C-alpha cells in the first residue's frame, strides 16, 4: 500500500514538472508623451504597487486656482477615445470620455474616510482614489518632477485583494486641480513582459 502511494506521488510530481511554467507578468501603464507639457508614466503592477514618475514642468495650470501646483488624481472608469493620446482640459477629460471614479464597492472617497476619522484601508474607500490613499501630488520645486510609489492592497497576511493591471486596463487616470476640475488624463494600456529579462513582449492595446 505504501509503495503504491509513493509511486502515485512520483507520477503526479513528474506530471507537474512537465507542465511549462510561464514567466510572463503584466503591468498597466498610462503614458504621457510630452504633449501639453507633461511627460512620464503611471504604472500599476501585479502586486498592486502604483508608481508615479512624471514631469509637469511645461504644463499650463492657469485653469487651476493655485496655477496647477497641486493635483488630486484618480482612476476613472472609461477611456472613450480610439487612441492612447493624453488629453488636457475639463472637456476633453470630462465624464463623457473618462467616466467617474473607479469604485467597484460603491463606497466613499478615501478623503472622506480620513476626514471622518476612519483608517483608510482597501475596502472602506474608493479603490481608484489614488491621491486619497497617498496624498496629492505637487510639482517639484526646480523642474516640475513628481515621483512617488505606494501599494493599493489589503495588507493582511493571507489576503491577496489588490489593485491589478487587468482591473485598470481600458480605464484612465485623471488629474484634477485643487478645485476639482479636470486638468489632464491618459488611458491605461496593458503590457506583458518576461520577468526573467524584464523585456516587454506584447502590447495588448493598439493605437
pLDDT at position 159, please? 75
Helices (H) then strands (E): counts for the chain: 5, 10
3-state secondary structure of 7: helix
pLDDT > 70 in the chain, percent: 81
- Is the entire prediction scored with pTM above 0.85? no
pLDDT of residue 143: 83
Across the strands, what pairs with 55?
39, 145
What pLDDT shows up at residue 184?
Answer: 98
Pairing state between β 24-33 and 39-45: antiparallel
- Which positions of the chain have pLDDT values less than 50? 2, 7-13, 15-19, 201-202, 204, 206-207
**Could you read off the pLDDT of 50-86 as tens digits, one per residue?**
999 999 999 999 999 999 999 999 999 999 999 999 9
| Chain position carrying cell 529579462 | 197
Q: Residue 20 has what pLDDT?
A: 53
Integer Cα distance of 171 and 153 in angstroms? 19
Cα distance between residue 57 and residue 68, in whole Å: 10
Amino acid at each position: 500500500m505504501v509503495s503504491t502511494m509513493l509511486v502515485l506521488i512520483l507520477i503526479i510530481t513528474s506530471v507537474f514538472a512537465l507542465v511549462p511554467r510561464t514567466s510572463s507578468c503584466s503591468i498597466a501603464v498610462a503614458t504621457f508623451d510630452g504633449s501639453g507639457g507633461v511627460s512620464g508614466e503611471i504604472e500599476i503592477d501585479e502586486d498592486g504597487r502604483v508608481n508615479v514618475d512624471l514631469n509637469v514642468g511645461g504644463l499650463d495650470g492657469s485653469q487651476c486656482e493655485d496655477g496647477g501646483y497641486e493635483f488630486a488624481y484618480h482612476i476613472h472608469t472609461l477611456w472613450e477615445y480610439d487612441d492612447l493620446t493624453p488629453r488636457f482640459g475639463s472637456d476633453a477629460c470630462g465624464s463623457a470620455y473618462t467616466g467617474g471614479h473607479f469604485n467597484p464597492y460603491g463606497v466613499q472617497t478615501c478623503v472622506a474616510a480620513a476626514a471622518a476619522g476612519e483608517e483608510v484601508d482597501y475596502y472602506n474607500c474608493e479603490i481608484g482614489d489614488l491621491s486619497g490613499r497617498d496624498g496629492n501630488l505637487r510639482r517639484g520645486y526646480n523642474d516640475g518632477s513628481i515621483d512617488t510609489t505606494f501599494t493599493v492592497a489589503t495588507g493582511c497576511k493571507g489576503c491577496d485583494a489588490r489593485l491589478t493591471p487587468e482591473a485598470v486596463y481600458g480605464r484612465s487616470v485623471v488629474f484634477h486641480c485643487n478645485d476639482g476640475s479636470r486638468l489632464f488624463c491618459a488611458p491605461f494600456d496593458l503590457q506583458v513582459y518576461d520577468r526573467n529579462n524584464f523585456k516587454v513582449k506584447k502590447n495588448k492595446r493598439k493605437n
